[in-house]
Amino acid sequence: MTREEQLLAAMVEAVDTLVDDFDLIEFLHQLCDHCNELLDVAAVGVMLADPEGGLQVIAASDEHTRLLELFALQTEQGPCVECYRSGAARLNISLGSPVQSAAFPRFAARARRTGFTTTHALPMRLRQQVVGAMNLFDTREKDLSPTDARVARALADVATIAILQQRTIVYGDVERAQLRAALSSRICVEQAKGILAERRHTDLDGAFDALRRHARAHRMPLTELCRQLIDGTLDISAVQHP
């Protein structure tokens, strides 16, 4: 597909939150995929606020990025954390610049060890309501072009609208119910990844890719697949080897 077609596909996916079997976890992982493809960045992480206002890592494009985002939460520093608190985007941050990374030196050092040199953080917000933040990482010293910055904001905005729309339609409790379900689903997915990785002697990224492929091939929600794998109703041998 052309870049314009990919962007339209991402927008259509947001409309699909109206369906009954909408899976927030898979939707946000697809958001990561779209960012990787459309913005030519190395990795993406998505954090959402829990009912108490604390951030939780909900989706990441790979395991190294997920661990980096968890480190940001543990140390309470990093552009994504700042972005959520302020509601303002921070783009083109050089992780090697003492000036640009002065507010989060420990995070910047950890990110550099992971292999990243540049990062961008965008709030997931609608008007005054901030539901989370999206972090983009690159292994090159490369700024986002003005066009790419607009695309990144559009993807963050459409994801925010999708999340708020689904909460309103399904639960009516805009602040709490879906985030609790998402956090529970995230734990379920992590457990299934670990089980499959251990049984297949592969890494967590390979195990997660295998789970996503199986869920898509069998038209079932990712979290449902993971629950079946954990409780034993689905044999691990049914999942294609990573």
| 196 domain-assigned | yes
130 in the same domain as 231: no
Q: Is the pLDDT of residue 6 over 80?
A: no
Tens of pLDDT, residue by residue over 17-69, are 555 567 788 888 888 988 888 898 999 999 998 877 789 999 999 999 999 99
Per-residue model confidence (pLDDT) at position 157: 87
Q: Which of 123, 140, 173 is the last residue of a domain?
A: 173
| 178 domain-assigned | no
Per-residue model confidence (pLDDT) at position 18: 55
104 in the same domain as 54: yes
Look up the CATH number of the domain holding residue 193.
1.10.10
The residue-averaged pLDDT of 131-140 equals 95
- φ and ψ at residue 124, rounded to 5 degrees: -100, 100
H/E stretch holding 133 reads: strand 129-138
| 180 domain-assigned | no
120 in the same domain as 222: no
143 in the same domain as 31: yes
95 in the same domain as 62: yes
Per-residue model confidence (pLDDT) at position 16: 62
C-alpha closest to that of 30 among 9, 57, 3, 48: 9
Look up the CATH number of the domain holding residue 160.
3.30.450.40
How buried is residue 144: exposed, middle or buried, by Cβ count under 10 Å (0-12/13-18/19+)? buried
Describe the crossing of helices 204-217 and 63-75 by its angle, rounded to 10 degrees.
110
126 in the same domain as 199: no
| 191 domain-assigned | yes
> pLDDT class for 136, splitting at 50, 70, 90?
very high
Per-residue model confidence (pLDDT) at position 178: 62
- φ and ψ at residue 96, rounded to 5 degrees: -95, -5
The residue-averaged pLDDT of 152-174 equals 75
118 in the same domain as 39: yes
